[in-house]
């Protein structure tokens, strides 16, 4: 996988946990695969409550960071060595993240999200719950994977209820495409697990067409009792609850990173 990286996305940010105005330039992937191209789509903005802001000011410097062009030293960030690491892309308000993390205390969990109030809510849950194995990154999930994680370093990637971009002209923005599947596979260790869930029927049909598109990912279907990672999401997320209220069916997908050679030779963005 050949990639070209722009300048660090947080080089000019001025506030704690803030990203530059608008969207930063996107990584150029040169492998001929399909990647979500979001252009200048802006992420939702929101303000924090006074209590959220106080907790954010106190704990974000230790628990969080923003998108930048430097591979994370996982042992240093979590203060422990040789623990498995899972990245959750699009963690929202962190409902599932905070519920699952205590059940996998031996695992480093990194929540990636653009929406600052969502990260603030998760941070509050982490602090109040005394959860010490969760860290947070504010940024686009594809950019974070490409720039901040070296190949063959992750034990799991989770994508729960990604934006379905239901209009046909927006399908190119969906995160589940051939390119992200290759990128995720490249960041997973052999034996690592990708777990995706959606309640959107059209998106499920879209994913069904892609389950075998990446040779480095062996599709295991659902359920997979022998999965090496926790696959029970424990709680119903806000978005999942809305889906169930409309009698939507939850579709879950599990893949295992194969033992095949990783074609991605980019170690440091």
Q: Which residues are catalytic?
A: 163
Residue 172 marked in a binding site: no
Q: What angle do CA 145, 147, 151 make, to 5 degrees?
A: 65
Residue 215 marked in a binding site: no
Residue 140 marked in a binding site: yes
CA atoms within a 13 Å half-sphere pointing along the CA-CB vector of 252: 12
How far is CA 52 from each of CA 23, 60, 67, 178, rounded to the nearest angstrom? 24, 11, 21, 38
Residues linked to residue 195 through DSSP beta bridges, in sequence order: 158, 254
Residue 238 marked in a binding site: yes
Buried b / exposed e over 207-230, threshold 16 CB at 10 Å, is beebbeebebbbbbeeebeebebb
231 CB neighbour count, 10 Å cutoff: 19
Residue 240 marked in a binding site: yes
Residues linked to residue 136 through DSSP beta bridges, in sequence order: 64, 111
Q: What angle do CA 125, 155, 96 make, to 5 degrees?
A: 25
> 3-state DSSP call for residue 97?
helix
How far is CA 248 from each of CA 122, 198, 201, 241, rounded to the nearest angstrom? 26, 10, 8, 9
Residue 239 marked in a binding site: yes
Per the annotation, where are the binding residues?
Answer: 88, 113, 140, 163, 167, 199, 237-240
Per the annotation, where are the binding residues for substrate?
Answer: 167, 199, 237-240
Per the annotation, where are the binding residues for S-adenosyl-L-methionine?
Answer: 88, 113, 140, 163
């Amino acid at each position: 996988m050949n990639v070209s990286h722009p300048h660090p996305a947080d080089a000019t940010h001025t506030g704690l946990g803030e990203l530059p105005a608008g969207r930063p330039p996107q990584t150029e992937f040169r492998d001929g695969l399909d990647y979500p191209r979001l252009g200048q789509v802006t992420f939702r903005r929101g303000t924090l409550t006074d209590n959220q802001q106080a907790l954010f000011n106190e704990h974000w410097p230790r628990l969080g960071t923003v998108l930048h062009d430097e591979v994370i030293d996982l042992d240093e960030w979590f203060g422990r060595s040789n623990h498995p690491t899972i990245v959750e892309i699009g963690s929202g308000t962190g409902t599932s993240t905070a519920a699952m993390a205590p059940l996998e205390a031996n695992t480093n969990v990194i929540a990636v999200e653009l929406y600052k109030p969502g990260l603030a809510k998760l941070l509050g849950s982490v602090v109040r719950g005394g959860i010490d194995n969760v860290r947070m990154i504010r940024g686009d999930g594809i950019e974070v994977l490409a720039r901040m994680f070296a190949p063959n370093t992750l034990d799991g990637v989770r994508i729960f209820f990604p934006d379905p971009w239901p209009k046909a002209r927006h399908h190119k923005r969906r995160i589940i495409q051939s390119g992200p599947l290759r990128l995720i596979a490249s960041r997973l260790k052999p034996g690592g697990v990708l777990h995706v869930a959606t309640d959107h029927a059209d998106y499920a049909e879209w994913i069904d067409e892609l389950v075998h598109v990446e040779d480095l990912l062996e599709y295991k279907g659902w359920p997979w009792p022998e999965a090496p990672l926790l696959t029970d999401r424990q709680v119903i997320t806000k978005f999942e609850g809305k889906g169930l209220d409309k009698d939507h069916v939850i579709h879950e997908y599990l893949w295992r990173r194969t033992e095949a050679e990783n074609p991605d030779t980019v170690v440091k963005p």
